[in-house]
C-alpha cells in the first residue's frame, strides 16, 4: 500500500511538471507551433495502439490515386462524417467488421481519400499470436499538422483479408456524443472510470469507457489535460461534452470483444494515472442511473467519486 501511494505521488508530481511546462509555454512570446511537434511514424502509431506488437513490416501495395474529383471527394467525405455511410455502429463508413474484405474496403476508399498505408504485422494478445494487416486511412493529407487528438486518419486491422477491428479518433466522432451513443445504442453492459486524486490546478484528467460487447462497440470519453474538478475531496467527472475514441468489432466475435476491452483497460492511461475501475465500485451510481442521467444531452450532472480512492 505504501509503495502504491508513493507511485501515485510520483505520477502526480510528473503531471505537475507537465502542467507547469505547458503554462510556461503559454506565457512565452515565442510560442511553439503545431508544426514544431514531432510527427510519429506509422510503426510508432501501431506500437502505441496494438498490445504486444512484435513486428510491423512494409507490405508492398499499390494504392490507386483518387478517381473522384477534389470537390466530389470532399462532398463524399463530408457525407460520411455526417451520416457514417448511413450504417449503424459497429459499421463504419460502410465497413462491417467480421464481414467486409479489407481489399474491397481499400479499393472503395482509395477513390476519394488522399492516402492509404498498409503493413503486415505480427502481434500477441490473450488469444495468441496473429499475422494481420494494418491499414491506416488518411481522410486528410498526411502532411497536414499532426494532432494526437485529431490525427486525420482511422485504422483497420484485418486477418485473412477480413476486417477484424476499426479504430476511430476524436476528429471523426463529433456525431457520437455521450447522449447520442446512449440513445442510439442503449444501456452499456459496463462503464469504467479512471482519474487522479489531486492536482495543483484543482482539475484532474479522467476517462470514462462504455462497453457494448454484444454490439461490438467500445467508446472512450476522456480529457487528459484536466476537466474533472476536485471540490471538497470529491472528483466531479463530466464527460457529456466530449467526443469519443471508438473501437469497433464484430458482435459475433466474443474473443475479440474481451481482448479489446482489456487492451483499453490496460492502456497507457492506466500507466499514467492508475487503473480503471467499474463505475459501481467507485460511485453511488449504477449503470441504469448512468444511462438515464447522461442520455439527456442537456444534463449538468456529473459522475462523483471520492478523491482518495484514486491513490
Report DSSP letters for 207-262, one per residue.
EEEEEETTTTEEEEEEEEEEEEEEETTEEEE--TTPPPEEEEE-TT-HHHHHHHHH
- The whole-number pLDDT of residue 124 equals 65
Report the distance separating Cα 147 and Cα 37, nearest Å: 9
Contact 188, 291 (CB under 8 A): yes
Report the distance separating Cα 150 and Cα 129, nearest Å: 30
Report the distance separating Cα 134 and Cα 117, nearest Å: 8
Q: Which residues in the chain show pLDDT less than 70? A: 1-66, 123-130, 141-150, 267-273
Nearest by Cα to 91 from 310, 272, 279, 251: 251
Query: What is the pTM assigned to this prediction?
Result: 0.78
- The whole-number pLDDT of residue 212 equals 97
Report the distance separating Cα 224 and Cα 205, nearest Å: 5
Q: What are the pLDDT digits (tens) for 247-260?
A: 999 999 888 888 88
Dihedral, 208, 166, 139, 36 alpha carbons, nearest 10: 50
The CA R_g of the chain, rounded to the nearest whole Å, is: 20
- The whole-number pLDDT of residue 41 equals 43
Q: What are the pLDDT digits (tens) for 58-69?
A: 343 445 545 788
Amino acid at each position: 500500500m505504501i509503495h502504491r501511494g508513493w507511485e501515485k505521488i510520483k505520477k502526480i508530481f510528473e503531471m505537475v511538471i507537465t502542467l507547469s511546462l505547458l503554462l510556461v509555454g503559454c506565457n512565452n512570446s515565442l510560442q511553439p507551433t503545431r508544426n514544431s511537434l514531432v510527427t510519429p511514424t506509422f510503426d510508432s502509431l501501431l506500437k502505441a495502439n496494438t498490445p504486444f506488437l512484435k513486428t510491423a513490416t512494409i507490405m508492398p501495395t499499390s494504392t490507386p490515386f483518387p478517381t473522384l474529383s477534389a470537390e466530389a471527394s470532399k462532398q463524399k467525405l463530408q457525407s460520411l462524417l455526417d451520416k457514417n455511410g448511413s450504417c449503424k455502429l459497429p459499421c463504419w463508413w460502410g465497413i462491417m467488421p467480421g464481414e467486409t474484405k479489407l481489399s474491397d474496403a481499400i479499393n472503395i476508399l482509395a477513390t476519394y481519400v488522399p492516402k492509404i498505408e498498409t503493413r503486415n504485422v505480427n502481434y500477441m494478445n490473450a488469444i495468441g499470436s496473429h499475422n494481420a494487416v494494418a491499414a491506416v486511412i488518411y481522410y486528410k493529407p498526411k502532411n497536414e499538422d499532426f494532432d494526437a487528438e485529431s490525427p486525420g486518419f482511422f485504422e483497420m486491422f484485418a486477418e485473412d483479408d477480413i476486417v477484424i477491428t476499426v479504430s476511430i479518433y476524436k476528429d471523426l466522432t463529433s456525431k457520437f456524443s455521450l447522449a447520442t451513443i446512449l440513445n442510439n445504442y442503449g444501456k452499456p453492459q459496463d462503464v469504467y472510470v479512471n482519474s487522479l486524486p489531486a492536482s495543483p490546478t484543482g482539475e484532474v484528467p479522467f476517462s470514462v469507457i462504455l462497453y457494448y460487447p454484444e454490439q461490438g462497440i467500445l467508446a472512450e470519453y476522456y480529457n487528459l489535460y484536466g476537466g474533472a474538478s476536485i471540490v471538497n475531496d470529491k472528483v466531479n467527472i463530466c464527460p457529456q461534452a466530449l467526443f469519443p475514441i471508438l473501437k469497433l468489432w464484430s458482435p459475433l466475435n466474443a474473443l475479440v470483444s474481451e481482448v479489446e476491452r482489456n487492451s483499453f483497460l490496460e492502456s497507457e492511461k492506466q500507466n499514467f494515472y492508475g487503473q480503471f475501475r467499474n463505475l459501481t465500485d467507485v460511485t453511488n451510481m449504477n449503470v441504469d442511473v448512468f444511462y438515464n442521467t447522461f442520455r439527456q444531452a442537456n444534463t449538468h450532472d456529473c459522475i462523483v467519486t471520492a478523491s482518495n480512492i484514486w491513490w
